[in-house]
Structure 1
């Protein structure tokens, strides 16, 4: 398929997770689909996000075990080799060749919209009926006066380090800062985290507290409720001057303070696509922008920035665009921070007493698998309404992300704790925490006076029914 003078059914801008899923979805329906990517397909997830960071976390976990057994941790060069091997293994799935095989034409170049239905990329004019914007977001890399760019990395550029930093300062306390901070500390770096409020501010305070304890156990110094005022260069790197007067010396500074959408230079104003005050593309729940023929998905939008969400949203957008459907995206969004312990959450994580919500918490010293693994420090907490409907929850512990899948389905489908309690679960698993919390909620509801009187009446009726003479006839 060539662009030529043919009008493309769906033009996809960006070759990350959202772009790849959206393009393959459209092509799978038989739509003429073109994807334009200025760098390399695979996006942040493959090259600088999910794949390298989770490989790093795995290597760091193995380093803890190796140090305990042998007194030595793996060389940083070996860790980097393992990271690049993981990327190389997964890359073919996201490659231009894989997209072409799925019926998508791939163009490498920088795209700019020229007018409604017209774009230009790599010197070629593309005429299209509809478009999907999936250009993603980039880490914020500035903001501290005096900070030497040569001593600074982001979540995108930290993978370019060829030696382990002796002193690593991290500005930011979200999932990226916590994950990378713990990993580098376990590999041997002296890590200091500088956090404006507290680490993992979106998560249950109890969950954040357990992660804080784990990070400190691994040697991470955490400075919460403070900011960096400015920085000065030193012979070994830089010195960060904090708001309360303290200093932090570092060889490398990781900026993990957020991401900014990649919308500059696209020419969105020429096709009537509106942005919010932070430059993010505004969409409705069907992923339509202010231009009804332009769709958007992934980190370029105002939605939570998760790879799994980008893929789902792009699939919905492409299906709606190509087939004329009116599917809406779900508001049930699971999230996981892959520290040790993991923190996984979905839906509501705090009970609202005004709405008669209640929290059902199971500490993991009551989860047998956690006992056998000697990892009982976590907990599972469900948030339910007065009728037992599951509204959300938080899980902290090993494999919390896997255990969250059942809880996510329960929230999505409006299930109750009775539904979970009445379902047979495999034993022993870490997901027993979800089941045990559901059972505890059901038992407490059955213990209220009305339920107890009703059950007592049923027991009395059953007892007297069985005591009737016709129920005691002898077998003949």
Structure 2
């Protein structure tokens, strides 16, 4: 006998976005059902953001032991215990997991069903033996690694971000197919932990980033010993565990002990029976309007990766707020993208919000001004030997429309520009900010100030006014 459950809100997927909606809705008094057949916390906690940053931290500590000479510290070769590094990864996940647990959400009043959900009608979803009839549904199923149909790949062992964090023995030579953020982050981390690393990218590494910034990050990664081959499209894979060979379309071959597939993501719509729910979708995910509502079934919302667009945990969290305002409070709410930042956690880091320089030039032409400053002009960066990097801010009519940063703590520094763009602040707001000295944060203030430099110091009218005032 199946159980029938009446709810105000049924959420399919307990990743970052789904959990945010569930917590907010339950605490606001809604009857909430949360469905998850996999791990609570989704990709971010178990396979993505959290484990990757933990492994990157291990690599950073190993790298620091080899780079102390300029500071009077004799470099030493680190003794890396790869399995212990993975223990660190597991410990970080375990420390965060209670916040995303079934027990916590049941304590908030959420009915958690640990089964995958699928639509059986426009108003019902089935999960295991339960049928949930809800006023509103939220599809928050996220995305998974995309594995392209490269000839021979199905006959050799390979890793994805969903399996590599379980690997206990350090790869002797890791071949990474894909030069995007996931591939490059894990490539540098493994190189620092003692693996030989080769990255094969069919087009350009960091292809979605500002090319000037990408070149700076790539130079550092290559200098640390990772081989990055661009324009190297994999065409054939062969071998066996411990001896895998990748042939590229130009006839080159690369051999290594392990293979990591990091060529992108695919949205998780399989198994949802969206057709039965009258929910329109395509390969990019559920088709939604500006309010993240299904264009074909107004009872259904989609958030995060499965809604299309930027695939980041913080975007899913942002989407959750949109849905809560709309579905629970009945308030008008539309998602925007111009203020959404992202970061790549290589060393140096890269971060972006709004338009890149190329995008801004195409959109605004001669109305665009690019303000920029180098990390080398920052005293804290000099003190710490972290002078590689720059900040670029795209400005139109005195307001930032985009910012690009490469360098130490770029993911932290981009937040000032995300705040400015989200709230329509002018460059003067950043220039007027008083930053403590010496901090890396001063690079943002310097970038803002550089926008006004030609207006103040290269302006003959300013000089005339100054001379006039001095006569009194």
| TM-score between the two structures when normalised by the length of structure 2 | 0.93
CA–CA distance in structure 2, aligned partners of residues 72 and 5 of structure 1: 58
Please report how far the alpha carbon of residue 318 of structure 1 lies from its aligned counterpart in structure 2 after TM superposition.
2.5
Q: Helix, strand or coil: the match of 2:304?
A: coil
Counterparts of 1:190 and 1:23 in 2: how far apart (Å)? 43
1:414-452 Cα deviation digits (max 9, x unpaired): 222222111211221112111101111112123454xx4
Secondary structure (helix, strand or coil) at the match of 2:238 reads: strand
1:40-59 to structure 2, matched below 5 A, reads 40-59=39-58
User: Within 2, Cα distance between the matches of 1:98 and 1:439?
Assistant: 47
Deviations, residues 177-205 of structure 1 (Å, cap 9, x unaligned)? 11000000111111111111111111111
Higher gyration radius (CA): 1
Q: Pick from 334, 338, 346: which aligns with 1:339?
A: 346
User: How far off is 1:373 after superposition?
Assistant: 0.7
Shift of 1:309: 0.6
- 1:470 is matched with which residue? none
C-alpha change, 1:118 and 1:93, in structure 2 (3 Å) is same
8 Å CA contact 1:26, 1:319 repeated in 2: no
CA displacement at 1:463 relative to structure 2: 4.6
Partner of 2:259: 253
Contact 1:23 1:318 in 2 (8 A): no
How many residues in Structure 1 have an aligned counterpart in Structure 2?
458
Contact 2:456 2:462 in 1 (8 A): no
Within 5 Å, which residues of 2 pair with 1:369-384? 369-384=380-395
The aligned counterpart of 1:359 is 370
Deviations 1:38-80 (A, max 9, x none): 0121111110101100000000011112356432332101101
Aligned residue number for residue 283 of structure 1: 288
Contact persistence 2:241–2:257 (CA under 8 A): no
Which of 321, 325, 342 aligns to 1:319? It is: 325
1:208-264 deviation per Cα after TM superposition (whole angstroms, max 9, x unaligned): 111111111111101101201111215732211111111000211111111111111
> 2:414 matched to which residue of 1?
404
Query: Partner of 1:473 in structure 2?
Result: none
Residues 242 and 258, structure 2, Cα contact 8 Å, conserved in 1: no
In 2, are the aligned partners of 1:239 and 1:249 still within 8 Å (CA)?
yes
User: 1:96-175 residue pairs with structure 2 within 5 A?
Assistant: 96-148=102-154, 150-175=156-181
Q: Distance in 1 between matches of 2:165 and 2:270?
A: 25
Superposed displacement of residue 103, structure 1: 1.8
SS of residue paired to 2:306: coil
Q: CA–CA distance in 2 between the matches of 1:310 and 1:327?
A: 15
Compared CA separation, residues 302 and 279, structure 1 to 2 (3 A): closer
- Gaps in structure 2 of 5+ consecutive residues: 68-74
Is 1:453 aligned to residue 467 of structure 2? no
- 2: CA distance, partners of 1:148 / 1:184: 24
Question: Which segment is superposed worse, 228-237 or 18-27?
Answer: 228-237
Distance in structure 2 (CA, Å) of the matches to 1:12 and 1:202: 32
Q: Indicate how the Cα distance of structure 1 residues 134 and 234 shifts in structure 2: closer, same or farther if over 3 A, else same.
A: closer
Per the alignment, in what secondary structure is the counterpart of residue 286 of structure 1?
coil
Does the Cα contact within 8 Å between 1:155 and 1:256 map onto a contact in 2?
yes
Which of 435, 439, 444 is 1:434 aligned to? 444
Go from structure 1 to structure 2 and tell me whether the alpha carbon gap of 1:34 and 1:359 turns closer, same or farther (over 3 Å shift). Answer: same
1:178 to 179, 184, 193: 184
Q: Which runs of 4+ in 1 moved over 3 A?
A: 3-6, 66-70
Contact 1:66 1:73 in 2 (8 A): no
| Residue 420 (1) aligns with residue 412 (2) | no
Matches within 5 A, 1:230-249: 230-234=236-240, 236-249=242-255
**Structure 2 contact 156–244 (Cα < 8 Å) conserved:** no
